[in-house]
Amino acid sequence: MSTIPAIHPAFSPAIPETIADLGISQSLVTDLVLRRLLLEGFSTLQSLSKTLRLSLPIIEATFRQLRQQQLLEVKGMLGNDYHFVLTTAGRTLAAERFTITQYAGAAPVSLAEYHAATKAQSAKVQIDRRALRKAFSDLVVTDRLLDQLGPALISQNSIFVYGPTGNGKTSLAERMLRVYQDGILIPYAVEVDGQVISLYDPVVHQRIEFEDPEIDPRWVLCRRPCIVVGGELIPSMLELRLDEASGIYAAPMQMKANNGIFIIDDFGRQLMSPRDLLNRWIVPLDRRVDYLSLRYGVKFQIPFELMVVFSTNLDPADLADEAFLRRIHNKIFVEAVDAAVFDQIFHRVVAARNIPAEPESAEHLRALCLRDGRVELRACYPNDICQILASIGRYEGRPVTMNRMDMERAAALYFAKS
């Protein structure tokens, strides 16, 4: 389902023209300018405005203040712009500020504005079975499953997706993002108690090329995020992380996932125990707020405006107690596939891979998958077996074939002997 995201109409921040409008202190702006000049050596008003994402009036006011304090000196003009450098006193002060934190990027937004923006951009989904089927068109999904997913996605409450392995739980979770039709604005950074928390992350945030001269440039237009973590999840990933060398805080994963989806794949198999994770998030899931702490003990609240999807092949009752499961309103069981769905998946896979198949190939593969005491068909079997067939063909230097002999060979490689 391909659409062009648009800015959420409920949030469109105007460009601040004064420090009072900016929401952060003059001293923080001054420090940003000093650190930037220390890194660049020399600069102009236009260059600082572009780099720090601040309006020219704010940069000009800070420039005049620093010039009056003899912390910078003008070396000349570049067109209608000043060309200036730090004085000796300016470099000394900038170096002192640099030892506290090295952040010299886009000016942060205030915590209060981040709260307001996140709440204003909370997802509102309107979808029916037909639209949902289109969103999941590259998967074979039954109407029964769609009719469970639809209300869950509209509610935007957390979802517990469970069932036997290999039936597409992760694939379903990752495609839930397709139901969103809009983009969101994410700040480069957030200021808390004078500290800078870096939030925008190009690794997990997909930027949309967009320019609006009326919107505060401290915000980046992105698609709603979808962050997936698996067995690597540890407690520190859910807390602020201070880089000791730079003095910059990195936002935790759930903060980066705000206004989007956070998928915990293979829940129950993390280095972090299920009980620890559930205890950590029982309040955020219930109240939609989370609490973080700066290194020196200052605790503050952030929005928890995201849909958490727990995906597991373990029994939910073995992972969580009733108090926690009650807070996850949507529990969706993804069952093993029946013969008709299996054959449909098979025909899609061989068509996509352009593999010539004999008329009874799907039926024969089903029989192979249910041999040796196996009692369930899995949605992953057709694609996995076709991958092995492709490897056999490359190994023998011939086209991929879908005959009984090769299928027997691939199945023998794929299934462990019981």
Instruction: Work out whether strand 307-312 and strand 159-162 pair parallel, antiparallel, or are unpaired.
Output: parallel
pLDDT averaged over the chain? 92
Please tell me the distance from the alpha carbon of residue 82 to that of residue 59, in angstroms, as a whole number.
Answer: 12
What would the CATH number be for the domain defined by 115-333?
3.40.50.300
Cβ neighbours around 200 below 10 Å, total: 20
**CB contact set of 10 (below 8 Å; sequence gap of 6+):** 120, 121
* Burial status of residue 108 (CB atoms within 10 A of its CB: 0-12, 13-18, 19 or more): buried
Please say whether the beta carbons of 415 and 374 come within 8 A.
yes
What would the CATH number be for the domain defined by 339-414?
1.10.8
pLDDT of residue 182: 87
The string of pLDDT tens digits covering residues 83-100 is 999 999 999 999 999 999
Domain 25-105: state its class.
mainly alpha
pLDDT of residue 49: 97
10, pLDDT greater than 80: no
Please say whether the beta carbons of 160 and 332 come within 8 A.
yes
Domain assignments of the chain as residue spans, ordered by start? 25-105, 115-333, 339-414
**Residue 198 host element (H or E):** strand 195-198
The string of pLDDT tens digits covering residues 117-174 is 999 999 988 889 999 999 999 999 999 999 999 999 999 989 999 999 999 999 999 8
Which structure tokens are listed for 382? 């057709």
Please count the CA atoms within 13 angstroms of the CA of 315 that sit on its side-chain side.
4
pLDDT confidence bin for 7, thresholds 50/70/90: low
The string of pLDDT tens digits covering residues 181-225 is 889 999 999 999 999 999 999 999 999 988 788 999 999 999 999
For 320-358, b where at least 16 C-beta lie within 10 A, e where not — what string? beeebeebbebebebebbeeebbbebbeebbeebebebe
**Roughly how many angstroms between the first and final C-alpha of the chain, as a whole number?**
42
pLDDT of residue 1: 44
pLDDT of residue 259: 96
